[in-house]
Structure 1
């Protein structure tokens, strides 16, 4: 009983507490590798229970090594990894540097690299018109589902223990797949709208089947800061949102908290 009570107390302590005003996050367009001190400085400026998000794969079909290094620097001592986003290689000319054209192949190459680096991250798929998406909306829809279903399948098989969501704006979604397409609405939405508002609802217009986002990128390409001056940083806000399956961010954070509890419980058991 004493052991079970300790586990429950630890879990309650490590579960992220959602304040009335939500939580903060930064995402770093990986133009350079930041030091541990620079990342910690940026995080300290936005508060507790914060997140770092970095790009790990680019529209050219190659890994973003700077982004991967930034995630490694952002990892805490207890193995609590931040989040990552994938900019897929999807273009009308079918030109990707690694030769991987399908959503499934790109999803698996990212998963394999994350596993190789022992990274357990939540993965967002970026949908942005400026990243060379072709005009074929039906083909784009198939690509997105091919990618995300591969991640979900890997999760079910225990190959990938993170999660998957969508990173996009109202206009980008409308142009790439059509604003009324709801095929990805079961996943968490990271919504881009640089309006300076740290909330989930100001200026949000439902699209794609989403009635609200889980993350809101409210400011972007901010280069004036006292931590990494000259390096562009995007600022995000996140809060509780409906969770439809185990691949959502909320469940990912619960698993991360449980992992930390299990580690501390193991240390306690060895001492007693």
Structure 2
């Protein structure tokens, strides 16, 4: 009996070693946080409440989307979509999918904001990465009014906070040269780890913060700003990501809220010159 028990334990040990121990880090989640978010199969997001007058809802995504999908998103009660315009893979590159997604979102009656996931370890400077976005969108007739810079996951950034600050500042400075409004997508923890709490980025820079307990519906936090605490130069946020890896209209998205009344009408995306505009829908006015 003892030999059988030892043999069984040995077999179980081999099986345990053969099971992959990798943890899939979900979009916008820092792998060095105390809670590790394991792979989550996106489940249907709860309905957008119809009686929440203080906040409006949006989704953020990094995948190609069709007009019909975004029409569904609009019908589901969302007003805005945050579209990734820069892919950090390799040296980093303009995300071509952003062009069609922005166009489809406009035709669906949704406001659009764009965000970039920069590559801080690239041989390209931050401002050069922003240039790629600007050129990629303007070439297809889309005028960029604002940009959100993703500053999350400290393990993906160099350990020198001063270098990180200079990298981010080069993007912010270039965006200002283009006349863009700038926002940062981050969290209290991310910002302190990556920039050592940099507080002089500028009072004109908006904040989109994330706070979730995990991926999926069970990881949601309240769809409001009640959990916000000041950090960096920010005392008031503009947007909060409160849910990650959920399914809306067959799309895997993260969900966001922003103060109702701070967004321009989607119809304002096109002016008399016939150009399509992206960004600038969500302001810092609370």
What is the TM-score normalised by the length of structure 2?
Answer: 0.66
> How far off is 1:69 after superposition?
2.8
2:56–2:260 contact (8 Å) kept in structure 1: no
Task: Work out which of the two has the higher radius of gyration on C-alpha atoms and give 1 or 2.
Answer: 2
> Which whole-Å CA distance do the structure 2 matches of 1:235 and 1:258 have between them?
22
User: What's the counterpart of residue 35 of structure 1?
Assistant: 66
Q: Would you tell me which structure has more helix in proportion to its own residues?
A: 1
> How far off is 1:176 after superposition?
0.6
* Distance change (3 Å), C-alpha of 1:35 and 1:256: closer
Find 2:58's aligned residue among 25, 33, 38.
Answer: 25
The 3-state SS of whatever aligns with 1:41 is helix
2:106–2:266 contact (8 Å) kept in structure 1: no
After superposition, residues 18-167 of structure 1 pair within 5 angstroms as 20-30=53-63, 33-47=64-78, 50-60=79-89, 61-76=92-107, 82-91=112-121, 96=122, 99=123, 101-121=124-144, 122-130=146-154, 132-155=156-179, 162-167=180-185
> How far off is 1:66 after superposition?
3.0
* Distance change (3 Å), C-alpha of 1:140 and 1:193: same
**Structure 2 unmatched ranges of 5 or more:** 1-51, 213-219, 275-286
The 3-state SS of whatever aligns with 1:213 is coil
> Which whole-Å CA distance do the structure 1 matches of 2:59 and 2:86 have between them?
18
1:214–1:240 contact (8 Å) kept in structure 2: no
* Distance change (3 Å), C-alpha of 1:64 and 1:212: same
After superposition, residues 161-240 of structure 1 pair within 5 angstroms as 162-179=180-197, 181-194=199-212, 195-200=220-225, 202-223=226-247, 225=248, 227-228=249-250, 231-239=251-259
The 3-state SS of whatever aligns with 2:227 is coil
* Distance change (3 Å), C-alpha of 1:34 and 1:257: closer
> How far off is 1:116 after superposition?
0.9
> Which whole-Å CA distance do the structure 2 matches of 1:109 and 1:205 have between them?
34
Runs of 4+ in 1 over 6 A off after TM superposition: none
> Which whole-Å CA distance do the structure 2 matches of 1:258 and 1:42 have between them?
18
> Which whole-Å CA distance do the structure 2 matches of 1:234 and 1:179 have between them?
26
Q: CA RMSD in A?
A: 2.8
* Distance change (3 Å), C-alpha of 1:134 and 1:185: farther
1:188–1:214 contact (8 Å) kept in structure 2: yes
* Distance change (3 Å), C-alpha of 1:120 and 1:82: farther
Q: Would you tell me which structure has more strand in proportion to its own residues?
A: 2
What is the TM-score normalised by the length of structure 1?
Answer: 0.69
User: What's the counterpart of residue 282 of structure 2?
Assistant: none
**Number of residue equivalences:** 213
> How far off is 1:25 after superposition?
0.9
> Which whole-Å CA distance do the structure 1 matches of 2:273 and 2:224 have between them?
34
* Distance change (3 Å), C-alpha of 1:237 and 1:77: closer
> How far off is 1:184 after superposition?
4.1
Q: Deviations over 1:201-253 (max 9, x none)?
A: x2111001101110111111113x4x11xx42111111169xxxxxxxx6x94
> How far off is 1:67 after superposition?
3.6
